[in-house]
Structure 1
Amino acid sequence: MPLRNNIIGCINFIAVLFSIPIIGAGIWLTTRTVNSCFMLLQWPVIILGILILLVGLAGLIGGFWRITWLLVVYLIAMLALIVLLGVLVGFIYMVTLRGSGHPQPSRAYLEYSLEDFSGFLRRRVHRSYKWERIRSCLSTTSICPDLNQRFTLAQDFFNAYLSPIQSGCCKPPTKCGYTFVNATYWISPISLHVDMDCLQWSNDQNTLCYGCNSCKAGLLANLKIDWLKADIFLLVALIGLIIIYIIGCCALRNSRTEDIFRKYKQGYT
């Protein structure tokens, strides 16, 4: 029986280890500049990872010390957490399924349109009071100022592969026809394109295109990239937890079957 207990304990220890990439994915998201201005996914992922860690520890204790009721609690709670993790993985994939950049003539970078993204993400940036907080945060970062250090010639800038947030927030949309002076300073054309983003562009370094829909789209495109990367770690952890959970259920069932058979033999003899 001690050997059986150790096997169940080791299985639950592996379940504890699978909480690490989940917590790590949430912490990694908080370190990303864009995500730090758009706090939405980070804490749910971290909290879910911590819950899986605590439940895994409960299963570890129940397995090594053969505390049956604790193992039952572990199985029920872990099943619920696996379902929640599966829902989260599917949710991230669904809301990031849409939203790709559009190529522009003679430009290496892409332009982004807010209408291309899922309704859920659009609603997160559509309301003015929410966006004011996000744009204020973005204006304090080095996302746009860094471009002035990297590019001094127009052609170098046009040939650059900008991040979505840089393409959307740090320059006017290409269709507006502005003339390049430096990466964040552009001369307005004689007649502006009839588009709100063209009218909202400002050479004020604290304004730029932070109020533009193109900036909102660029932020969502950056989020999409980061969320999909995090989703890969969550998916790996989900698959691992499902496998470990099934193995743990089988081991516990076999252990209980052996206990019943042993007690039956003792009673018979």
Structure 2
Amino acid sequence: MCRLSNSLIGMLNFITLVLSIPILAVGIWLAQKGSTDCEKFLEKPIIVIGVFLMLVSIAGLIGACCRVTWLLWVYLLVMFILIVLLFCFTVFAFVVTNKGAGDALSGKGYKEYRLGNYSDWLQKRVTNTKNWSKIKSCLVASKACQTINGGKNMTAEEFYQEELSPIQSSCCKPLDSCGFTYVNQTMWINPGNTTSTDSDCNLWSNNQNELCFNCNSCKAGLLQTIKNDWKKTAIVNIIFLIFLIIVYSVGCCAFRNNREDNAYSRWKPYAY
């Protein structure tokens, strides 16, 4: 296994190098063509990931195939740091997404979400005015509310049985406790004498660019979406972490091979 390690590391890094090219290309394309805040927000991380993968792959490829020991050492160091960071992020993701769940409503197909049910760290991220302004523009641009039931009109009874996503349930309609009257998916009539003390009731607007995007319930719906996504990401990270540990172990074998070969080449002239 150890004798094949250099070839395996070289092959794996060649594949990673090839994959880094389209990732970098997407980042550059977004930088030039991106028009919304959401696209501009994604461009820098994608470019950084693309460049990082490309540089690490080149270091691993040259280090393993050309027997450049110091480059392989740098590669292993970066891999070790990556493993540690990925492990820490996975644990962090499980911790911060441990709290929070939707409230089931009697006779309704959807749930509603409360901001206070989620971790303080996540709450601080979305209640920051600057952060929420950017997030809100992304939510509006996604047109999640206009795609309920494929954009087709529904009766009130049909709407109440609809399985809405956390974003749709929290940002596209007022809270059930507000007592608003349903007109269509994104238009509701304010009764004017609601007994609810929830401040979200006063924030609802039939303006399609406002709706309940300024509501705390909308922020809670976003956190529920993040929670669901992070749980899935954490599981993928565990699988990826196992893969990285295997690659790191093979890399260590390749590094040992390089050192042995270099030591042999230094000793060989004196064998005569």
Query: Quick check: TM above 0.5?
Result: yes
- CA 1:222–1:43: 2 relative to 1, 3 Å: farther
Q: Secondary structure at the match of 2:207?
A: coil
2:12 matched to 1:14? yes
* Alpha-carbon distance in structure 2 between the residues aligned to 1:114 and 1:46: 33
Instruction: Give the number of aligned pairs.
Output: 256
- CA 1:104–1:18: 2 relative to 1, 3 Å: farther
Partner of 1:90: 91
| C-alpha contact (below 8 Å) 1:114/1:122 kept by paired residues | yes
| C-alpha contact (below 8 Å) 1:114/1:213 kept by paired residues | yes
| One-letter identity of the residue aligned with 2:120 | G
Kindly state the Cα deviation for residue 259 of structure 1 after the two structures are TM-superposed.
5.8
Q: What value does the CA root-mean-square deviation take over the aligned residues?
A: 3.3
| C-alpha contact (below 8 Å) 1:170/1:183 kept by paired residues | yes
| CA deviation map 1:209-257 (0-9, x unaligned) | 1111001111121222233333333332221111111122134325534
* Alpha-carbon distance in structure 2 between the residues aligned to 1:113 and 1:46: 36
| CA deviation map 1:105-153 (0-9, x unaligned) | 1111011111122222211111223323332342343211223723421
Report matched runs for 1:38-117 at 5 Å.
39=41, 47-48=48-49, 50-117=51-118
Partner of 2:241: 238
* Alpha-carbon distance in structure 2 between the residues aligned to 1:266 and 1:245: 33
2:210 matched to 1:210? no
| C-alpha contact (below 8 Å) 2:69/2:258 kept by paired residues | no
| C-alpha contact (below 8 Å) 1:9/1:60 kept by paired residues | no
Partner of 2:229: 226
Partner of 2:125: 124
Kindly state the Cα deviation for residue 7 of structure 1 after the two structures are TM-superposed.
3.6
* Alpha-carbon distance in structure 1 between the residues aligned to 2:145 and 2:203: 17
Partner of 1:173: 175
The alignment-based identity, stated in percent, is: 41
| C-alpha contact (below 8 Å) 1:144/1:166 kept by paired residues | yes
Kindly state the Cα deviation for residue 43 of structure 1 after the two structures are TM-superposed.
5.5
Partner of 2:33: none
- CA 1:39–1:263: 2 relative to 1, 3 Å: closer
| C-alpha contact (below 8 Å) 1:100/1:112 kept by paired residues | yes
| CA deviation map 1:58-96 (0-9, x unaligned) | 111111111122122222222122222222333333322
| CA deviation map 1:142-172 (0-9, x unaligned) | 2112237234211111111101100000000
| One-letter identity of the residue aligned with 2:207 | D
The one of 133, 158, 161 equivalent to 2:160 is 158
Q: Secondary structure at the match of 2:100?
A: coil
* Alpha-carbon distance in structure 2 between the residues aligned to 1:39 and 1:100: 28
| C-alpha contact (below 8 Å) 2:6/2:65 kept by paired residues | yes
| C-alpha contact (below 8 Å) 1:192/1:199 kept by paired residues | no
* Alpha-carbon distance in structure 1 between the residues aligned to 2:229 and 2:13: 25
| One-letter identity of the residue aligned with 2:80 | L
Unaligned runs of 5+ in 2: 31-36
Per mean C-alpha deviation after superposition, the further-off stretch among 56-65 and 145-154 is 145-154
